[in-house]
Amino acid sequence: MIYKKEMVYNELLRRISAGEYLAQSYLDEQAIAAELSTSRTPIREAFMELAKEGYIEIIPKRGIIVLPFSYQDAADIFEARSLIEPWLIMTYGPEIPREDLEAEYSLIRQEIAAYPDRRDRPGVSIFHHPHSLFAKHCTNQLILSILRNMEKQCRRTPNERPILKAFRDEPDRQDLIRSHEVFVDLMLEGRFEDAAAEMKRHIAIGRDEYMEYWFGI
């Protein structure tokens, strides 16, 4: 079976994200091509894309090395989110039709009722509702590209992680979930500055949960 670039890219990204390719390890282009029963061209094309996104580094005359995903990498991503997502609310929030906000609010209420004690792995939810509502109305493709890559990076299994810890205290978990309801409700009231502040607080709660789960900090 001949793999296209997208299929090769997705498989290599999956392996890096799952920690199957360890940080600082070298990738063998020829061996991967043989394993995936494809030519080396789509492998090279996938490597170029992964290098642009910060997963690997192509070092001339040395090879392709997997870059680490560290505590500082995750901290930087959450800091960037705390700047970008409140800005999205302030910039695009007033343009979102009220019916879209009301529909989102209804979805959030249903989710709270259906999954009061849900235990997913913590991560980022930039393109999950209600965060996706702001991305949907953002017309800046560069910003959207940055957000997409940050979300993919935070799906990685950190190479330096300890044994995974349990979630934080239940009140904190509930606060994180219900914060969605709060900032959408504030937007319905036209209080976009307050909604942006609530989004910043929401991201801080998510950051603490993520760091404790993956890094034990």
Q: Give the pLDDT confidence of 119-142 residue by residue, as tens digits.
A: 566 666 777 778 888 888 899 999
Say which residues have a Cβ less than 8 Å from residue 49's Cβ, sequence separation at least 6.
5, 9
Which tokens belong to 213? 């789960």
What pLDDT was estimated at residue 117? 56
Tell me the residue ranges of DSSP E strands in the chain: 26-27, 56-59, 63-66
Taking only the tens place, the pLDDT of each residue in 50-99 is 999 999 999 998 999 999 988 899 999 999 999 999 999 999 999 999 99
Task: Among 15, 40, 66, identify where a domain stops.
Answer: 66
User: Same structural domain for residues 16 and 104?
Assistant: no
User: Same structural domain for residues 62 and 85?
Assistant: no
pTM of the model: 0.81
| End-to-end C-alpha distance for the chain, whole angstroms | 45
Question: Given pLDDT bands bounded at 50, 70 and 90, which one contains residue 153?
Answer: confident
**130 upstream amide cis, omega within 30 of 0:** yes
User: Same structural domain for residues 94 and 193?
Assistant: yes
Give me the half-sphere count of Cα atoms (radius 13 Å) on the Cβ side of residue 123: 17
Considering its fold, how many domains does the chain have in total?
Answer: 2
Segments forming the whole domain that contains residue 102: 71-215
What pLDDT was estimated at residue 118? 55
User: Same structural domain for residues 95 and 40?
Assistant: no
Q: What is the CATH number of the domain that holds 80?
A: 1.20.120
User: Same structural domain for residues 123 and 147?
Assistant: yes
Cβ–Cβ under 8 Å, residues 12 and 50: yes
Predicted confidence (pLDDT) at residue 116 exceeds the cutoff of 90: no
State mean pLDDT over 148-157: 85
Percent of the residues in the chain that have a pLDDT greater than 70, as a whole number: 87
What pLDDT was estimated at residue 159? 66
User: Same structural domain for residues 112 and 193?
Assistant: yes
Question: Given pLDDT bands bounded at 50, 70 and 90, which one contains residue 164?
Answer: low
Amino acid found at 126: I
What pLDDT was estimated at residue 173? 64
What pLDDT was estimated at residue 170? 55
User: Same structural domain for residues 32 and 90?
Assistant: no
User: Same structural domain for residues 75 and 56?
Assistant: no
* Whole-number average pLDDT of the chain: 86
What pLDDT was estimated at residue 212? 83
Task: Among 66, 82, 111, identify where a domain stops.
Answer: 66
User: Same structural domain for residues 120 and 135?
Assistant: yes
What pLDDT was estimated at residue 27? 96
Q: What DSSP character marks residue 154? A: T
State mean pLDDT over 135-155: 88
Tell me the residue ranges of DSSP E strands in 29-121: 56-59, 63-66
Amino acid found at 91: T
